[in-house]
Amino acid sequence: MNTTPQPDPKDRPARLTVGVVGAGRVGPALAASLQLAGHRPVAVSGVSDASRRRAAALLPDVPLMAPAEVLQRAELVLLTVPDDALPDLVTGLAETGAVRPGQLLVHTSGRYGAKVLDPALRAGALPLALHPAMTFTGTPVDVQRLAGCSFGVTAPEELRLAAEALVIEMGGEPEWIAEDKRPLYHAALALGANHLVTLVAQSMELLRGAGVGAPDRMLGPLLGAALDNALRSGDAALTGPVARGDAGTVAAHIVELRDHAPQAVAGYLAMARATADRVLAHGLLKPELAEDLLEVLAEATGGTTGTTGTEGDAR
């Protein structure tokens, strides 16, 4: 595969035909990005009306087909289905003879490495795991967001250069993840990104309940600064009543949440305890200042003050 940079991707001959199995939010965006790099999308599979609309918007004039037909047409196939569906899909495609020798088979699951593609490998396919560390909307903006996006890359050593080249062509930055580290890698991303959305949504609901007319405008600068500080300084960026050991403030928060948003109490307590563990472990809060705080959290969770970091407190 020729990956020599060219001045204008549109002037390059198409080097690989590309197919997409699973027109969710990820697959059409990656295929559109590969198209900008000179490759040629030729087929896409999608079942729901939403997936068909996404395919039409991001891959206009690319025909919709059954998965086996997509593999017949494409030299590079993106398997962009939910994690739990991936193993059965790969096994089914291999057992029915849809996989062709020399075909590049790429999945985008964060959870799995290349071994989930072993059935296709035995059929002669070239297995690659390329997971973009990005949240997708299913709209053309996703293609722009791939610029500078990190990809978790796992592949056999002999395919490493090919995997990294594809990521670079999509505008991404390859980050090599060992096969046995994929679940931990994915858990880290889910903890940081997926849970962040939940926390922000809950925070906006609470602000609306407090009478704030534009919670997004209020939170935007605060959360942007907090994220920037955290990425720059790690635990040194921790602030707020838990980090300061303000037990009375935390107790007041718990009372208010129980009265007005009981569904948010468990998350607040879990994050407060996790924050307390971190500030103590890093010497950012003196143990004597933490005693009342830990007692408040223990009483709220029905536990004991004991040692920090127990599973029972982080539910």
Supply the DSSP string of 78-107, one letter for each residue: EE---GGGHHHHHHHHHHTT---TT-EEEE
- The conformation of residue 213, written as its DSSP 8-state character, comes to S
Interstrand relation of 126-132 and 150-154 (parallel, antiparallel or unpaired): antiparallel
pLDDT digits (tens, 9 = 90+) for 9-21: 444 444 899 999 9
- The conformation of residue 14, written as its DSSP 8-state character, comes to P
Q: What is the pLDDT of residue 303?
A: 54
Q: What is the pLDDT of residue 39?
A: 97
Q: What is the pLDDT of residue 15?
A: 87
Mean pLDDT lowest for which of 5-9, 33-37, 58-62?
Answer: 5-9
Q: What is the pLDDT of residue 287?
A: 84
Contact, 273 vs 254, CB < 8 A? Answer: no
CA–CA dist 89, 314 (Å, integer) = 36
pLDDT digits (tens, 9 = 90+) for 255-303: 999 999 999 999 999 999 999 999 999 999 888 888 999 999 999 988 5
Query: Does residue 8 have a pLDDT over 60?
Result: no
Mean pLDDT lowest for which of 45-49, 103-107, 130-134?
Answer: 45-49
Q: What is the pTM of this model?
A: 0.84
Residue 312's pLDDT band (cuts 50, 70, 90): very low
Per-position b or e across 60-77, b if 16+ CB within 10 A of its CB = eebebbebeebbeebbbb
- The conformation of residue 16, written as its DSSP 8-state character, comes to -
Q: What is the mean pLDDT of residues 187-205?
A: 95
Residue 87's pLDDT band (cuts 50, 70, 90): very high
**Between 314 and 171, whose confidence is greater?**
171
Residues listed for the chain: 315
Q: What is the pLDDT of residue 66?
A: 96
Nearest alpha carbon to residue 303 among 313, 292, 291: 313
pLDDT digits (tens, 9 = 90+) for 51-64: 999 999 999 999 99
